[in-house]
Structures are given as structure tokens and as C-alpha cells.
Amino acid sequence: MKKKSENLIRTHNCSVIKIKEIPIVDYETFFNLNCNLIQSPERHLSHYFAIEEGKALRIFSIISDDKSREIFVSSTEIDKKKEIPSLTNKFPSFHPFERDIYERFNLKYSDHPWLKPLRYPFYSQEKSMDNYPFFSFDSEELHEVGVGPIHAGVIEPGHFRFICHGEKVLHLEIQLGYQHRGVEELFVKKEKLLERVILSESIAGDTTIGHSTAFANLYERLCGFNTTEDLHFSRALALELERIAIHTGDLSALSGDVAYQLGQAVFGRLRTPIINFTQSWGGNRLGRGLIRPGKINFPFTEELKQSLTDILIEYERDFVEMAETFFLRPSVQARFEKTGTITKDDVFKMGFVGMVAKSCGINRDVRFTHPHGLYKAIKLQPTILQSGDVHARAYLRYQEVLRSIEFIREILQTIPSKISKKDLSDAPLESQSLAISLTEGWRGEICHVALTDKNGKIAAYRIKDPSIHNWFALALAVRNNEISDFPLCNKSFNLSYCGHDL
């Protein structure tokens, strides 16, 4: 699979490559190479980061081709003190990643249009969050509205600054970083496997399965362990259960935002049997404890299969009835349709992933485009909608839940009998390597990357939650909408603060 051609390496999802095989080209070549790669509509940026190598910085770019299923890895080395042109200036999808490099290493980009702090990490020069350079506009007609970091509801913190003309939002800027916990550094510092597993479960609690699966898949590759059928099975099942649960909860919250109480109550209560099932499987409603590299502590049994089959029958009946009623209500349609619209063009330009892309007619879903494990064998129907508005993102959830149920029913037919119990805690890791793993969490593409040193120790760990791409989608979506529609737009994306801030 790994062909060395041009100035890059071609690889695929869940793979390990030797770092020395990745060509190092000069920045200009790297710049042009990445411009060429990212131009085609079937490709998107999966990750882009730098690591320190003495006085130099080595930048890695990981671009995924959703058609050929290839992943292109390229790299360059630059002097930290040098000022360099930014890719963001040509392709804005690079913006959070270049901001991250700027914040981490103080690397100056000569023409980055939005070179602002990203997450105020403890290692940045910027110590106070009070001086964020918000875009502002001097006008007597416009006013600014600031919200957060603490919001009215029980949600995570972040600051939103609106520029409005009357009720109309002209611009929204989102300042994040309040949730920064130093996760990536802890992945390096905490050397016990179990510590890292717990960390992966805590990157974003609502995506416990998504992130712990990305980590487990990656770690197994680094150990040279071939993921067994039962592990693939439990990961795919847990991922789809997580998707069903969160999508259902989101439909409840969306109902609440348009004051449709019945929907709020019914969708809210429908999430419970799903997460309670997850608890009956692994002891925790979010699936903590379920995903472990090399092993499973809670094997899936015939009894669990029976119980899940019954739960899904009842769930589906009530869910479909509620959803059909919900989406036909004129008051719901009036609030959802043409609100918070994102265009296909925005998706290509900004590199949005997951639900945002799928609601704009673009099939950007790792389960189909870079399948791993059970997703390779079992054909799942992608759900693609066109209108890009709140309605599309809500309806997408409804449809995805149904697809997930179908998928679960299919995989339940053959429960793997073997139970993996491989203890990988002392297994040596491939040295001087770079491992990549992509997983489709319910929000979209999760990407974990690990780099090991010559002793096989993890030297750098980089995590990408889909939110890092998609927060900008929220900022774009509310433009020219009423400020009173902001909560609705926000919920229709339901992005992660801690996944972004790490």
C-alpha cells in the first residue's frame, strides 16, 4: 500500500509508517504540493501539525482522499525564526492548524488572515484570555453582544461575540480555550497504557467511544497487534449506539429550542434505553470501560443481544412516530428551514467534516470513505442531504439513527465467539514511526496521530476532534440570521468545546 512517489507518502486509515520514509521537502515545494492536493473536491485536510526538532520545526500534513481511500502524508522542515507564507491565505481550511503551530511555537506566518490564539494552552506566550483580538467595527448602527464563557444552560464554556445590526447577526467570533487541560502532553507524559486509555475516554465525554476507538485502533497498529473480529465488532456496535444516543438527545434539545415540549420530552426519554443498554453492557452510560486496546473486559453475550434486539424494536417504533410528527409540524419547519445555512462551497473551502458536510451533499464520512474493521465488510447506506440548514442537520440525525439501527441489526446476526484478552500494556511499540487512525464519531472525523522515538516511546501525540474544523461553520451559519436563532443554530451543530481545547 505504501508507495513512495512524488514528495509524499501514500498510506491508508489505521496504518503505521516509518518517519524516515516520509520525505522532507523545502517549504515552497511542500506549500505547492499541499495546494495541489487540497484543490480536488474529494480531498480534505485530516490533520496538520508541527513538532520541534532541535532548532527546526517539522510540519506534517495529512490529507485524505475520500474517493481513492488514500491518505497522503507530506512534511517539511523550517527554521522556527523564519517568517513563512500561510496556506490559510489560499485555502482557509488550514486556519486552525496554522494557528495551533503559531501558538505552540511562535512561528510567524506572513500573510495568515486570522492569526489569533486558538486555545490558550499553558505553553503559549499568551497568558491571559482577556485580550483576544476580536474583530470589531466602528459604527453607530451596529452593536456587539458578548456571551460566555459561562452560558445560561448546563453546557461547556466558550465566549461568543456577535456584531449585530438590530436583531440581525452580521458576524460572530468564537473564542475558545477555556477547556484546555493539556491532554496531548499528558498522552506523552503518562506512560502506562491504562492511563492513556482513560485519557482517550476523557477527551470529550460525549464521544467517549469515538475517541477511545481512535486511540485503540492506533495503539494496536503501533504494537503490531492485528485487531480481532470481536474487538472490531464491539467498537462498531458501541460507535453506532453512541451515535443513536447523541443524535436522539440532540433532537430533544432542538425541540426545546423551538419550544416544542413534546419532542423535547419524548426524544429526551428515548435516549435513556440506549445509554442504559450501554451501561448494562459495560457498566457506564457513556461506554467508559468498553474499549481497550487488545482486549475487551465486557464481551458481548447472547443475552445482551436479545436485550438489545428488544430495546431497538420498541425504541424504533416510538422514535419514528415522534420524528414523523416532529418534522411535519409547521412550527418546526418554519424555524428549521433556511435557518443557519451552510453551502457546499463553504464545506470545500473550510474543510468541514461529518454532519456539516453530509447535510450539504458531500459524502465525507470515514465509515464509507476510509472504512476500517467491520465497516469494510458491512455495507451501510450513507445519508446525504442537500439543503445545509438546521433542518438538514436535524433530519440527517433522524435518518442516521435509522441507518445505525439497520447496521446494528445486521452485525448482531454474527456475534464473534472468540474473546480477545491480549494484554498490550508491556508490548513494545514500533520505533521512529508515525501512526494514523481515523474514526467517524457522531460529530464527524476524529483523527489521532502518534509519533514514536527511537526507543519506541510516544514522543508526540496529536488529537483532532471534528469540532476543530466545524466551529467555524457555526460562525458562518449565523450570519444574516436573527440573533434569537443562535441557540437553535448552535445546537444543530452541537460542537465540542473540550474536544477543541484538548
Among 265, 402, 412, 483, binds other proteins (CB under 8 A): 265
Tell me the window of 133-141, 344-352, 467-475, 494-502 that interacts with other proteins (CB under 8 A).
494-502
Residue 318 CB, shortest distance to other proteins, in Å, is 6
Q: Where are the alpha helices (DSSP H) in 68-205?
A: 95-105, 183-189, 193-202
166 burial (CB, 10 Å; 0-12 / 13-18 / 19+) is exposed
Residue 370 CB, shortest distance to other proteins, in Å, is 26
**Alpha carbon distance 393, 141 (integer Å):** 33
Among 285, 344, 349, 479, binds other proteins (CB under 8 A): 285
Binding mask 157-186 for other proteins (x = CB under 8 A): x-------------------xxxxxx--xx
Smaller CB separation from other proteins, 204 or 362: 204
Is there binding between residue 322 and other proteins (CB under 8 A)?
A: yes
Can you tell me whether residue 425 is helix, strand or coil?
A: coil
Is there binding between residue 262 and other proteins (CB under 8 A)?
A: yes
Smaller CB separation from other proteins, 280 or 432: 280
Q: Are 93 and 350 in contact (CB under 8 A)?
A: yes
List all residues 6 or more positions away from 12 whose beta carbon is below 8 Å from its beta carbon. 1, 69, 70, 71, 370
Smaller CB separation from other proteins, 71 or 323: 323
Is there binding between residue 4 and other proteins (CB under 8 A)?
A: no
Smaller CB separation from other proteins, 24 or 174: 174
C-alpha cell at 293: 486496546
Can you tell me whether residue 197 is helix, strand or coil?
A: helix
Is there binding between residue 321 and other proteins (CB under 8 A)?
A: yes
Residue 400 CB, shortest distance to other proteins, in Å, is 20
Tell me the window of 144-152, 236-244, 338-346, 389-397 that interacts with other proteins (CB under 8 A).
144-152
Is there binding between residue 55 and other proteins (CB under 8 A)?
A: no
List all residues 6 or more positions away from 375 whose beta carbon is below 8 Å from its beta carbon. 236, 367, 368
> Could you tell me the CA-to-CA distances from 428 to 159, 177, 185, 452, 459 in Å, in that order?
43, 35, 20, 11, 14
State how far Cα 278 lies from the chain centre. 21
Tell me the window of 12-20, 153-161, 393-401, 483-491 that interacts with other proteins (CB under 8 A).
153-161
When computed from its CA atoms, the radius of gyration of the chain, rounded to whole angstroms, is 22
Is there binding between residue 155 and other proteins (CB under 8 A)?
A: yes
Terminal Cα distance for the chain, rounded? 32
**Alpha carbon distance 290, 284 (integer Å):** 9
Smaller CB separation from other proteins, 266 or 380: 266
Is there binding between residue 280 and other proteins (CB under 8 A)?
A: yes
Residue 328 CB, shortest distance to other proteins, in Å, is 8
66 burial (CB, 10 Å; 0-12 / 13-18 / 19+) is buried
Binding site for other proteins (CB under 8 A): 120-123, 129, 149-150, 152-157, 177-182, 185-186, 190, 192, 194-195, 197-199, 202-206, 208, 262, 265-266, 268-269, 272, 279-286, 288-289, 297-298, 317-318, 321-322, 324-325, 328, 496-498, 501
